[in-house]
Amino acid sequence: MGMMDGKVALVTGAGRGVGRGIALELAKAGAAVVVNDLGVALSGEGEEQGSPAEQVVAEIQAMGGRAVANHDSVADWDGACAMVKAAVDNFGSIDAVVNNAGNLRDMFFHKMGPEDFDAVIAVHLKGSFNTSRAAAPFFKEQGTGAYVHMTSTTGLIGNFGQANYSAAKLGIVGLSKSIALDMQRFGVRSNAIAPFAWTRMIDSIPTDTPEQKKRVEGLKKLDANKIAPFVVALCSDKGKDVTGQIFAVRNNEIFLFSQPRPIRTAHTAEGWTPETIADRVFDQFVNDFYPLHRSADVFTWEPV
């Protein structure tokens, strides 16, 4: 028997890349899958030729699995509700939601327009809320359920030219933790994963310098399908005690991330003034300040 036999999962952005791998792996493990994908360009605009969601459904059915396609937008509340309804109407329940849908509008902060910020927040952060909230009543009633949200080291650590994406992805971490806290009494868990994978989401990285070319060659070694087994494990009953955590998957490496906690303190019986803070606190804390690292500055070794 598969780890997901009898379960029903919704995977957003499942037409290509990481999402496709997750949908296929869930189906191999026995789950019925709602394969959601808009079938649009990376920016979230226009349409691709053919239907990526339908292609993944055909792959699942060809292996003897059960799946249906959905083309609604996670950024739309009614669309998110329709995805969950598709799971219940077609397969009788909803047991897991994998929030993978995404878009990019990369540019340096001083050039970023409000529409570029809003478009990315709407899909990544608001979209993750919409689908999660739409499934919450079903999870609550049945006393079980699993959320898996895709974050990014761009939000957890940092990167150039992605203020919108970074804000959304770090926001997802907060959303996931809040869901875990609010839904734990109903047997529902929520976790976040930062996936390392070569997909069209990072295929737009420039290669104008030797350093950039070297970095891209390293990224091309990251297999998008390597994320899927960990997602299935989290969604299965064997992951029922794992909640509120932040993970990363990088080929054959799995990481558990720390979460913000105080590391230094300063106090005074007299109370602080701006002058005493500047004179005393900054000097006390400076050795523990975090440098302006990017993800690539932290993950410096070749993927395993």
* Catalytic position from the list 138, 165, 196, 198: 165
Alpha-helical segments (H) within 73-161: 77-91, 114-121, 127-142, 153-156
Q: Say what the pTM is.
A: 0.92
CA distance 42 to 47: 10
Q: Is 147 a catalytic residue?
A: no
Each domain of the chain, given as residue ranges in start order, spans 8-259
Q: What is the pLDDT of residues 249-265, one digit of tens each?
A: 999 999 999 999 999 99
One digit per residue, pLDDT tens: the chain, 304 residues? Answer: 799 999 999 999 999 999 999 999 999 999 999 999 998 666 556 555 459 999 999 999 999 999 999 999 999 999 999 999 999 999 999 999 999 999 999 999 999 999 999 999 999 999 999 999 999 999 999 999 999 999 999 999 999 999 999 999 999 999 999 999 999 999 999 999 999 998 665 655 555 666 666 666 667 789 999 999 999 999 999 999 999 999 999 999 999 999 999 999 999 999 999 999 999 999 999 999 999 999 999 999 989 8
CA distance 13 to 30: 20
* CA neighbours closer than 13 Å in the CB half-sphere of residue 79: 17
Q: What is the pLDDT of residues 3-44, one digit of tens each?
A: 999 999 999 999 999 999 999 999 999 999 999 999 866 655
| CATH for the stretch 8-259 | 3.40.50.720
